[in-house]
């Protein structure tokens, strides 16, 4: 009896120790699980925060890349001011909100409006075929390293007042998407922008290196021009137009490649990009053709003085 009692007591004490060990291990596993989960969530937050700090500008290296994969960083409704003005300047009178959204992605082939060049248009296609129609592209007003893709989700036009339905079709952070730029407008914008640079080279070729380029307007509305600081008397302008056309044609026939160089900029997250064309180079963030031969048909049409700027108009 005594031996049996001692055996039972020893068994019970060992059982209690095992239960305590199991409880301890369970608590430890529980704490480790939550610790790992917290680390993963923190890593994801830091990852997406890093993504937001800069949108990689893929078009910097290839203006003729019209489709590319990317990852969604965020999707938010367009901002509205006190007068119900949407971010694109249009009014939404029915409600105090816009049907538009702003999509930010990790990397983009879409060129934002700027540098005298209009923004690209196109679509962003998400998982399960969700489509976002990009109507305008711009840089973040508070951080030029971030690009905003502004537009509407394809199925929201008929469901403006159904916020729950709209939420169901927007992209999610981290979602894989495909960016598709409208090819015809991109090619046109690239030609117009490159033609503006070629005009600078032609101006030097005809001996007017004193004319300093100031700004350009490379829109496809028949009024593309490059503005120069300097003087061309009214009675000389027709002759300068003829000389520029001859010089441009020669540079186009030369068929020289457009060279794009990039280097890191210590002052900004955006790389410093230099475009060289026919011996003329400058800092530029726009899209360009690959060779001057693609500008065949370029024509300088007129020269006009506007305030202190000499505007040289052209088309291509």
Reported as a single tens digit per residue, the pLDDT across 150-179 is 999 987 444 444 444 545 568 999 999 999
pLDDT at 170: 87
Q: What is the mean pLDDT of the chain?
A: 83
Share of the chain above pLDDT 90, in %: 65
Nearest CA-CA partner of 224 in 126, 137, 118: 118
pLDDT at 159: 44
Compute the distance between CA of residue 252 and CA of residue 64 in angstroms, rounded to an integer: 19
DSSP assignments along 78-102, one per residue: PP--TT-B-TTS-B--SSSS-S-EE
Compute the distance between CA of residue 174 and CA of residue 180 in angstroms, rounded to an integer: 18
Please name the residue ranges forming H helices in 170-316: 183-205, 237-254
The encoded tokens of residue 299 equal 């024509």
Whether pLDDT at 25 is above 70: no
pLDDT at 157: 47
Q: Strand ranges (DSSP E) for the chain? A: 56-57, 67-77, 101-105, 107-108, 122-125, 131-140, 143-153, 176-181, 212-217, 225-229, 259-263, 272-277, 280-283, 299-306, 309-315
Bridge-based pairing state of the strands 56-57 and 107-108: parallel
Query: How confident is the model over 42-59, as a mean pLDDT?
Result: 64
Q: Do residues 121 and 220 touch, judged by C-beta distance below 8 A?
A: no
pLDDT digits (tens, 9 = 90+) for 233-277: 999 999 999 999 999 999 999 999 999 999 987 777 788 999 999
Task: Count Cα atoms within 13 angstroms, Cβ side, for 190.
Answer: 25
pLDDT at 287: 96
Nearest CA-CA partner of 170 in 253, 74, 266, 260: 74
């Amino acid at each position: 009896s005594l031996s049996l009692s001692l055996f039972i007591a020893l068994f019970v004490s060992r059982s209690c120790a095992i239960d305590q060990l199991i409880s301890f291990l369970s608590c430890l596993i529980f704490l480790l699980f939550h610790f790992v989960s917290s680390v993963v969530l923190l890593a994801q937050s830091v990852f997406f925060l890093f993504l937001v700090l800069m949108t990689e500008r893929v078009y910097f290296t290839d203006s003729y890349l019209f489709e590319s994969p990317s990852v969604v960083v965020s999707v938010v409704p367009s901002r509205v001011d006190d007068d119900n003005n949407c971010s694109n300047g249009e009014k939404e009178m029915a409600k105090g909100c816009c049907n538009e959204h702003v999509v930010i992605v990790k990397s983009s082939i879409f060129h934002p409006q700027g540098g005298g060049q209009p923004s690209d248009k196109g679509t962003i296609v998400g998982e399960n075929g969700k489509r976002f129609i990009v109507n305008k592209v711009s840089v973040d007003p508070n951080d030029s390293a971030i690009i905003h893709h502004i537009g509407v989700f394809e199925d929201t036009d008929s469901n403006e007042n159904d916020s729950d339905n709209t939420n169901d079709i927007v992209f999610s952070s981290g979602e894989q998407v495909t960016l598709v730029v409208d090819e015809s407008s991109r090619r046109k914008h690239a030609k117009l922008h490159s033609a503006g640079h070629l005009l600078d080279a032609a101006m030097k070729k005809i001996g007017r290196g004193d004319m300093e380029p100031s700004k350009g307007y490379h829109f496809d509305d028949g009024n593309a021009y490059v503005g120069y600081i300097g003087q061309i008397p009214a009675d000389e302008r027709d002759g300068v137009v003829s000389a520029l056309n001859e010089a441009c044609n020669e540079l186009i026939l030369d068929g020289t490649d457009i060279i794009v160089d990039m280097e890191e900029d210590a002052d900004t997250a955006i790389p410093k990009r230099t475009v060289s064309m026919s011996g003329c180079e400058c800092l530029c963030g726009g899209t360009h053709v690959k060779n001057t031969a693609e500008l065949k048909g370029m024509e300088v049409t007129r020269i006009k003085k506007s305030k202190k700027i000499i505007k040289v108009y052209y088309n291509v």
